[in-house]
Amino acid sequence: MSAVIVVGTQWGDEGKGKVIDFLAQQADMVVRHQGGNNAGHTVVANGNEFKLHLIPSGVLYPDTECIIANGVVIDPDVLLKEIEYLRARGVSTSQLRISSQAHVIMPYHIRLDALSEDRLGSQKLGTTRRGIGPAYMDKAARVGIRIGDLLDRERFKERLVRVLDEKNRMLARAYDTDGFEFDAVYGQYLAYGELIAPYVANTSVLINRAIDGAKKVLFEGAQGTMLDIDHGTYPFVTSSHPVAGGACIGAGVGPTKITQVYGVVKAYTSRVGDGPFPTERADAVGDRIREQGHEYGTTTGRPRRVGWLDTMVLRHAARVNGLTGLAVTRLDVLDTLSEIQIARAYRYRGQEIRELPDSLEHLDEVEPVYETLPGWQTPIGQCRRLEDLPAPTRRYLDRVSELTQVPLTLVSVGRERTNTISWSPLF
């Protein structure tokens, strides 16, 4: 039995796509289980770059089954375009299966996401405006449309009539704007349903059968721990559960089936969107890391906020995810720096603390306490074994693992599949 969950430990964009693609060489199945096309996962293989938003990052291997499970919210237009994008580049999606229970992002979700952000003004969350929050709201309110509904004309009609009436009232009364016309939405989404139908399956059955059949199954987290709706910097979070437990719910797999949980750690920190970020460097140091690391959003193109590594965040991630290993990425982005800082504690209300404050709403009151490590000032992209890394690089990695109390499992030193160092069995 081998079921490995890969989660982001920070605020997303840690390099999960790259790590999943690397691990997927050995996997039989890769499963997306939460989030939607707010995610942007980049894979670079043999010089070709792929940006994936919904389809699992295992799709480049023709024999790997790819699953979009029940916990994902799916924009059918984005899904179909992504299938086409891959097909045009010679990548088959015949191994893709989609849960009939996954909720559908409807046009009113996208509109409401943008309207709500605009109304919040300077208080906005900085969402990706892809309709993610409103789609999960409807799921919880039990008025959502699911993929299976698109395949049943009568049931879909009944549900859409009810929900559209309410959304149109809301658009008119709360936002003083036009609503959506039933026939247009109904027709368009029925057509999407027909195109998606060949992929639809009971994915919990498929995933459990694979695990029980001694196959290697990978769970690909989207976003990151600090964006989790319970364990992140609420309200500046996404509306799903990027933490490891979310994989069980979002895929229909029991926790007793999980064998490893790897946390992807960017060698520094980035955040796109608003909200607290204690180690942010909104100065020349930050600019240098942003340029060196090309830190611009995969989904929205927004410049990412950047700063030093924060081990309070990593220890929090280790605890709430039960991490068994760390995959440290983008280490090469720090190649030119003469000194690198790591936040080892916070000063908070006159005391030094090593955990996040009791309420994450107080995170903007903390002041990081740094320790400074020497940089390596040499390119490391060609290193393929831990022994090849310069001594200061290994010292940095050891310190990250020591402060986090989680062993190191994998190191990424570049964007390519081959720019990866691994030394032990990963499944």
Residues recognised as catalytic: 13, 41
For the bound state, the minimum distance from the C-beta of residue 108 to ligand GDP, rounded and expressed in Å, comes to 27
Query: How many angstroms separate the Cα of 38 from the Cα of each of 18, 51, 112, 123, 251?
Result: 17, 12, 15, 20, 19
For the bound state, the minimum distance from the C-beta of residue 409 to ligand GDP, rounded and expressed in Å, comes to 14
For the bound state, the minimum distance from the C-beta of residue 427 to ligand GDP, rounded and expressed in Å, comes to 20
Where is 266: in which H helix or E strand?
A: strand 260-266
| Token couple for 64 | 């790997």
Interaction of residue 39 with ligand IMO, rule CB under 6 A: yes
Interaction of residue 232 with ligand IMO, rule CB under 6 A: no
For the bound state, the minimum distance from the C-beta of residue 113 to ligand IMO, rounded and expressed in Å, comes to 7
Task: Report residue 169 CA to chain centroid gap.
Answer: 33
The partner in contact with residue 216, picked from Mg ion, ligand IMO, ligand GDP, none with C-beta cut-offs of 5 to 8 angstroms by kind, is none
Q: Which of 2, 5, 6, 8 binds ligand IMO (CB under 6 A)?
A: 8
Rounded CA separation 160/301 (Å): 33
What does the binding site for Mg ion look like in residue numbers (CB under 5 A)? Answer: 13, 40, 298
Residue 217: closest CA among 64, 421, 423: 64
Where is 421: in which H helix or E strand?
A: strand 420-422
For the bound state, the minimum distance from the C-beta of residue 414 to ligand GDP, rounded and expressed in Å, comes to 5
Does the bond joining 368 to the residue before it have cis omega, within 30 degrees of 0? no
Rounded CA separation 100/69 (Å): 8
Q: Which of 102, 112, 150, 227 binds ligand IMO (CB under 6 A)?
A: 227
Interaction of residue 13 with ligand IMO, rule CB under 6 A: yes
| Token couple for 261 | 């949980």
The partner in contact with residue 91, picked from Mg ion, ligand GDP, ligand IMO, none with C-beta cut-offs of 5 to 8 angstroms by kind, is none
What does the binding site for ligand GDP look like in residue numbers (CB under 6 A)? Answer: 8, 12-18, 40-42, 44, 298, 329-330, 332-333, 412-415
| Token couple for 418 | 């081959």
What is the C-alpha R_g of the chain?
21
Q: Taking contact as CB under 6 A, which single stretch among the options 9-17, 25-33, 95-103, 324-332 is the one that binds ligand IMO?
A: 9-17
Interaction of residue 260 with ligand IMO, rule CB under 6 A: no
The torsion angle over the Cα atoms of residues 156, 158, 159 and 162, rounded to 10 degrees, is: 150
**Residue ranges with strand state E in 322-407:** 325-329, 339-348, 351-353, 367-374
**Residue ranges with strand state E in 58-203:** 65-68, 73-74, 96-99, 103-104, 200-201
For the bound state, the minimum distance from the C-beta of residue 223 to ligand IMO, rounded and expressed in Å, comes to 4
Rounded CA separation 135/155 (Å): 19
Q: Which residue is nearest to ligand IMO (CB)?
A: 273
Rounded CA separation 108/231 (Å): 28
Restricted to residues 128-157, the positions that interact with ligand IMO (CB under 6 A) are 128, 130, 132-133
Interaction of residue 393 with ligand IMO, rule CB under 6 A: no
In this complex, which beta carbon is closest to ligand GDP, that of residue 18 or of residue 109?
A: 18
Restricted to residues 274-303, the positions that interact with ligand IMO (CB under 6 A) are 298
User: Residues 6 or more apart from 74 whose CB is under 8 A from it?
Assistant: 36, 54, 68, 98, 102, 103, 104, 105, 147
The partner in contact with residue 413, picked from ligand IMO, ligand GDP, Mg ion, none with C-beta cut-offs of 5 to 8 angstroms by kind, is ligand GDP
For the bound state, the minimum distance from the C-beta of residue 265 to ligand IMO, rounded and expressed in Å, comes to 13
In this complex, which beta carbon is closest to Mg ion, that of residue 68 or of residue 206?
A: 68
Q: Taking contact as CB under 6 A, which single stretch among the options 6-14, 260-268, 281-289, 409-417 is the one that binds ligand IMO?
A: 6-14
In this complex, which beta carbon is closest to ligand GDP, that of residue 245 or of residue 293?
A: 293
Residues at the interface with ligand IMO (CB under 6 A): 8, 11-13, 38-41, 125-128, 130, 132-133, 222-224, 227, 238-239, 272-273, 298
